[in-house]
Structures are given as structure tokens and as C-alpha cells.
Amino acid sequence: MDGYSRQAFPHWTNQGNNCNTRETVLKRDGDGVTTDSQCRATSGSWTSPYDGATWTQASDLDIHHMVPLAQACRSGAAAWTTERRRQFANDLEPSQLRAVTDNLNQAKGDKGPAQWSPPLNGMLDTC
């Protein structure tokens, strides 16, 4: 997309306790999650609200932005300050960031909720 740069949205920032946003979402959305001294998930399980699949490796998950960063840019975020874009990209409210099956999140790309729906429509009920 012309004018869009993912780097304009600083993401996975420090959330305290040595954890970044990705690690915080993985801990929040998982069951029985344990972490190492760097806050990386070392065990646990995650059920993706996109497809109902359960994963035991954090690497099988992406952190999904309900409103993709590119779509936010197209909708006016290009005019925001870098700090406002950082806040948006790291918003921990449950409906903005979720741990989901990686290949489904990648298939969604920068499509918004109006253009793409997950296989399990229950995800749409959380907005």
C-alpha cells in the first residue's frame, strides 16, 4: 500500500515486568502459560478464536490486530503522531489484539473485519 509502513507503528513495546506486548498477549490469552526470565512463553496452550485449533508452541501463533495497521493507516492513522500509532499498535484491550493461528492471520493480511471473517464467526461477537 502506498504510504503505509509497518515501522510507522512501533509495536511489541515494553509492557513492564520484562514483557513486550506480544508476550503479554500470549500470557493473557493462554492457559497454564509459563515464561522464562526473558518473558518468553516456554509452555502452555492457546485456543485460537479464529478456528478453534489448540496450540502448545507460542511460535504457532500470531498476534492479530482486529483493525490491521495498514487499514488504520488508510483510515486516518497516517496523520497521527508516532506515539498515538504506538498506542494503537500495542492496545491490550481484548478486542484489538488476540493470539490466533498464524497462517489464518497471515491469510487475513491487511483486510479489515468487513472484508475478512475467520472460519469461526464467534470472534466477531467480541467487538
Of 48, 23, 47, the C-alpha closest to 35 is 23
pLDDT-derived band at 127, boundaries 50, 70, 90: very low
Greater pLDDT, 52 or 2: 52
- Residue 109 is predicted with a pLDDT of 86
The 10s digit of each residue's pLDDT in 25-51 is 999 999 999 999 999 999 999 999 999
- Residue 111 is predicted with a pLDDT of 85
- Residue 116 is predicted with a pLDDT of 85
Greater pLDDT, 56 or 68: 56
Yes or no: say if 50 and 118 are a contact pair by the CB < 8 Å rule.
Answer: yes
Give the pTM.
0.87
Greater pLDDT, 119 or 100: 100
Cell digits of residue 4: 503505509
Of 111, 100, 116, 14, the C-alpha closest to 69 is 111
